[in-house]
Amino acid sequence: MSVLSLIREEFNSYTHHDQLFKELIRNFFKEFLEVFFPEVYEYLDFHSVKPLSEEVFTDLHEGDARRLDIVIETKIKGQDSLVIIHIEPQSSKQNHFHERMYLYFSLLYNKYRKPIIPIAIYTYEETLEPNEYKMEFPYFKVLTFHFLTLHLKKKNWREYIRSDNPVAAALLSKMGYNEYERIEVKKEFLKMLVRMELTPAKQRLIYGFFERYLKLNEKEEEVLMEEIKQLEDADKILEIPISYEEKGIQKGIQKGIQKGIQKGIQKVALEMLKEGFPIDTISKLTHLEKHEIEDMKKSL
């Protein structure tokens, strides 16, 4: 059994939607643009990617402080000019979201004075969402602000299963599929995960993201296991974390086999530290206390 399978299934519930998207895109920024925004991908130089400090702005409509987690600076290909990419995941419908995108654009530009490519990721079942914000009068158009959009529910998951793109694999769980396709979606995801040969830490991130949004029930898992056994790469698939193994770990916990499980979790945490994951994210994915992870970091 893979060390990764020792992370408990319930840990995924501690990781919030925005944080998951933040870590997924920060760790696979180039791959995200390559698969979903190839025109932007071809425009950028990825040798100088730099995540900017997390920006906190006040939402004028909601009155809440909003943190822009995905703000990345890089160069334009063949030039010394810098450009900023702001990516905003949106998990529920908000009537003023398009205006908020313009607000964030304005605040970022006011601070950095650099060209900005704004991108919105819609992850809910809405078919028509604006990709622009207008300010105009009957006699005068003040401005029209456009932003790029990714409507995941509109994407056909089958179009991405031949790629070896880790972001595409993770986001299969948020694409458009029917209930009867759930088992097949996970089977294809596992096949992708095996082909990509990611580090343990990155594999944990991709698998944890997928499982957060597409979790099979016990009967579905049994059907999946029978189908996997018929595949040529069945042995490799069975080495990565799968739900029925994690459920077995849960039973083991209830029987008091905590010590061995804890060691497995700590090994994964160490791998994630080596990969440069933030302590907060590791804590959420493994449920270890932050001070434990800090001690582990000092020992590296």
CA distances from 149 to 36, 66, 120, 156 (A): 10, 20, 5, 16
- Please report the pLDDT score of residue 200 as a whole number: 82
Mean local confidence (pLDDT), 61-67: 57
Q: CB neighbours (10 Å) of residue 93?
A: 11
Residue 41 in this model has a pLDDT that exceeds 80? yes
- Please report the pLDDT score of residue 282 as a whole number: 81
- 2: CB partners within 8 A, 6+ apart: 200, 239, 240, 241
pLDDT band at 96 (very low <50, low <70, confident <90, very high): confident
Residue 14 in this model has a pLDDT that exceeds 70? no
Residue 38 in this model has a pLDDT that exceeds 70? yes
Mean local confidence (pLDDT), 157-172: 95
- Please report the pLDDT score of residue 73 as a whole number: 94
- Please report the pLDDT score of residue 174 as a whole number: 94
| Domain ranges across the chain | 1-9+157-300, 37-154
- 17: CB partners within 8 A, 6+ apart: 89, 91, 123
Residue 7 in this model has a pLDDT that exceeds 50? no
Measure CA 23 to chain center. 6
- Please report the pLDDT score of residue 15 as a whole number: 44
pLDDT band at 294 (very low <50, low <70, confident <90, very high): confident
Mean local confidence (pLDDT), 166-187: 95
Question: pLDDT for 202-231, tens place per residue?
Answer: 888 899 899 889 989 989 989 999 999 898
Question: pLDDT for 129-138, tens place per residue?
Answer: 789 999 999 9
Q: What percent of the chain has pLDDT over 90?
A: 44
pTM, full prediction: 0.76
- Please report the pLDDT score of residue 288 as a whole number: 84
Under DSSP, is residue 148 helix (H, G, I), strand (E, B) or coil? strand
Question: pLDDT for 227-256, tens place per residue?
Answer: 998 988 888 888 776 654 555 544 554 444
- Please report the pLDDT score of residue 6 as a whole number: 33
Under DSSP, is residue 27 helix (H, G, I), strand (E, B) or coil? helix
Question: pLDDT for 99-124, tens place per residue?
Answer: 999 999 999 999 999 999 999 999 88
CA distances from 120 to 23, 51, 73, 130, 288 (A): 16, 17, 17, 10, 32
Residue 75 in this model has a pLDDT that exceeds 90? yes
CA distances from 8 to 79, 169, 190, 285 (A): 47, 21, 18, 9
- 216: CB partners within 8 A, 6+ apart: 182, 183, 186, 224, 243
User: In terms of pLDDT, which residue wins out, 188 or 299?
Assistant: 188
